[in-house]
Structure 1
Amino acid sequence: MKVFTQQQIAASINAEFAAQALREGFTAYSQGNVKVPPVQHFAFEQANGDCCVKSAWVEGSDTFTVKVSTGFYANPAKGLPSNSGLMMVLCANTGQPLALLQDEGWLTSLRTALAGQIAARALAPSLVQGIGILGTGSQARLQLEYLMPVTPCRQVTVWGRTAQALADYRQFAQGLGFTVTTTLSAEQVARAANLIVTTTPSREALLRREWIRPGTHITAVGADAHGKQELEPELVAAADVLVADSIAQCSEFGELSHAVKAGLLQPERLVELGHVLAGNAEGRRNDEQITLADLTGVAVQDAVIARCAFRACAGL
């Protein structure tokens, strides 16, 4: 079994190739061609942390993947990153372990950012007038970076919880060429942007329905486990187009689940991202619609990104 570090993985993987592989993975998942066991979740309330174990096999692939991903949100105060983890790639023909990817959560962050890019390509309005980001962490940075090929818009409004975190994000975004507005008001983000990405581990709604402009697209990636929430259920229910990475998973947890469980949203209104990408379900129809992509993270993304990383690192 080969062992590859985060540095080796980051230096080897081709993000554009990985994005195309993820598109194919989403499509295969929605067509029923991926084996995805139930997700295991752990919550560590005393440490403000959580962990999930995900695994998947794309039918026909010569590898399958098991991933452990952690998020401990008090870590920055200890000088540690919030997210970590690892992935194991195994042979689908013999069951032998092929590689341990010691990515420290980097591949999960990358595949989530690339999923955000894919969702924005499919659902964003034709003219993005302003980008809004909720959060200032590593995922908030990656989401902005990977939106750059999607739109020429370089105006971003960023919400964070502390002035220092916002100052650090401003420096990062300006380095990418953005004009940056920072704020402690989520409402200001909503009123300034028509392409919004939410990236926080919040357990209470941050965005309200009345703040959202007509034609806005929202990609929600923070609510990836039970109890997490960034959007009020009324906002979710009011969206014209509701896209889930997995209808089954988003009905259990994620932004869509809150609206479904509150009786504000019928599950029949939901469509899967893979069906939109394949042209089997309708996405945005005009620039007045509010669209929402709920990305809770599906294990097929891990299987796909891990295979890309393994093959790139091994020179296959």
Structure 2
Amino acid sequence: MTRVYSLSEIEAVLPNIDIVKEIGDGFVAYSEGKVDVPPVGELLFPENAGEMHIKYGAIRGDDVFVVKVATGFFHNPRIGLPPFGGCMLVFSQKTGMVDCVLLEEGELTNHRTAAAGAVCAQHFAPRGLEYIGIVGSGVQARMQADYLRRVTDCRRLYLWARDANSAKKAAEDITAMGFEVVISQSLDQLCKHARLIVTTTPSEHPLLTAEMIRPGTHITAMGSDTPEKNEVAPDVLAMADIVIADSLKQSHSRGEVFQARRAKSIADDKPLELGSAIADPTKGRCSADQITFVDLTGVGVQDIAIAKAVVNELR
């Protein structure tokens, strides 16, 4: 019998799960070739600042496979609705029957994305952080702060956003998490102080450029999950000592690596894959002055990992 789980039921079990570990292990399995992840399906609704993604896949030999439908309609807050929605369908690999439906309303997507940022910080951020920098003021800006406090002791943060009111509200929410937050007047100011920078916007034009980035900085870019989006100028990837893609396959069709390749700013073989770098620490940061960069476009294995963990807790 197919079980349908509500958002409240799902949220009740999330504190029992080490989501950062689950997502990190998922990336490793993906890079080891143990996961089948077909190309992303998507529909764009530019007239409503909306998009829909279908991400799905299976870990070979597992009991289940997962199909995730996620939406982002970024004008929704103007009419009192959340910007994100969606659900996850968990099927049996043995029979093809729907095992359960997770009516997560985009919440699991938000958590798995934030957890990926924490994974990147664990493996690439320099030691002794004085400030974290967050670019953006939406849901993911807040969730990145939430998850970064799980993997770093740094509690001082610069935040920049285009809209002053949105920046103020995000700063208030992040302050409530225990951070000392400075609303940055410019991206250059943020980059001057922060050595761990996370970009969380749907921008289609680069926000960070090479002249802003100081030695020893790690950047995690997570907003560019469609071919049109671009938060970081290609010259940043060109100057970076290490460039990582969550999926090398997807980096040929979306994300910051895609944009840098299209601009002919990086060699095709420069990017490494995140899971392989997690599994082999020699591929990660090896000096304090290195500039490191991770491009997170969102991979179906993240949805498999979090859905499986949630279902195991719900049963």
TM-score (norm 1): 0.96
Is the 2:17–2:310 Cα contact (8 Å) retained in structure 1? no
Structure 1 alignment gaps of length 5 or more:
none
Q: How large is the RMSD of aligned CA atoms in angstroms?
A: 1.2
Does the 8 Å contact 1:275/1:281 carry over to 2?
Answer: no
**Please, which moves more after superposition, 106-115 or 13-22?**
13-22
Partner of 1:231: 232
Structure 2 distance, partners of 1:313, 1:281, is 38
1:168 aligns with 2:154: no
**Structure 1 CA distance for aligned equivalents of residues 17 and 285 of structure 2:** 24
SS in 2 for 1:94: coil
CA distance in 1, matches of 2:72, 2:302: 18
Q: How far has the Cα of 1:47 moved from its partner?
A: 0.7
Deviation at 1:14, TM superposition (A): 4.0
The letter of the residue matching 2:310 is A
Q: Say how many residue pairs are matched.
A: 314
Asked if the contact 2:17–2:309 (Cα under 8 Å) also holds between the matched residues in 1, the reply is no
Partner Cα distance (1:275, 1:16) in 2 = 24
**1:138-184: CA deviations, max 9, x gaps?**
11111011111222111101011222211111211111111111135
Change in CA separation of 1:286 and 1:15 when aligned onto 2, cut-off 3 Å: farther
Distance (Å, rounded) in 2 between the aligned partners of 1:297 and 1:269? 20
Aligned to 1:291: 292
Work out the CA distance in 1 between the residues paired with 2:229 and 2:35. 26
Instruction: Give the CA deviation at 1:16.
Output: 4.7
Q: State the Cα deviation string for residues 193-223 of structure 1 (Å, max 9, x = none).
A: 1100000101100111101111000011100
1:78: Cα distance to partner?
A: 1.2
User: Quick check: 1:53–1:68 contact (8 Å CA) kept in 2?
Assistant: yes
Cα deviation, 1:36-76, whole Å, max 9, x if unaligned, reads: 11111111111111111011101121111001111111111
1:219 partner letter: T
Matched, 1:143 2:161: no
State the shift of 1:21 in Å.
Answer: 2.0
Residue 129 of structure 1: how far off its partner (Å)? 1.6
Give distance in 2, aligned partners of 1:126 and 1:140: 22
Secondary structure, in 3 states, of the residue corresponding to 2:188? helix
- Give the structure 1 partner of residue 128 of structure 2: 127
Counterparts of 1:14 and 1:91, CA distance in 2: 26
- Residue 5 of structure 1 deviates from its aligned partner by 1.3
Cα distance in 1, alignment partners of residues 172 and 193 from structure 2: 20
Post-superposition, which runs of at least 4 consecutive aligned residues in structure 1 deviate over 6 A? none
- Counterparts of 1:212-227 in structure 2, within 5 Å, are 212-227=213-228
State the identity %: 41
What does residue 247 of structure 1 align with?
248
Cα deviation code 1:121-152 (max 9, x no counterpart): 00000121210001111111110111112221
> Taking structure 1 as reference, are residues 28 and 246 closer, same or farther at Cα in structure 2, changes over 3 Å only?
same
Give CA-to-partner distance per residue, 1:217-271, whole Å, 9 cap, x none.
Answer: 0011100111001101111211110011101112221011111111110121111
Runs of 5+ consecutive residues of structure 2 not aligned to the other structure: none
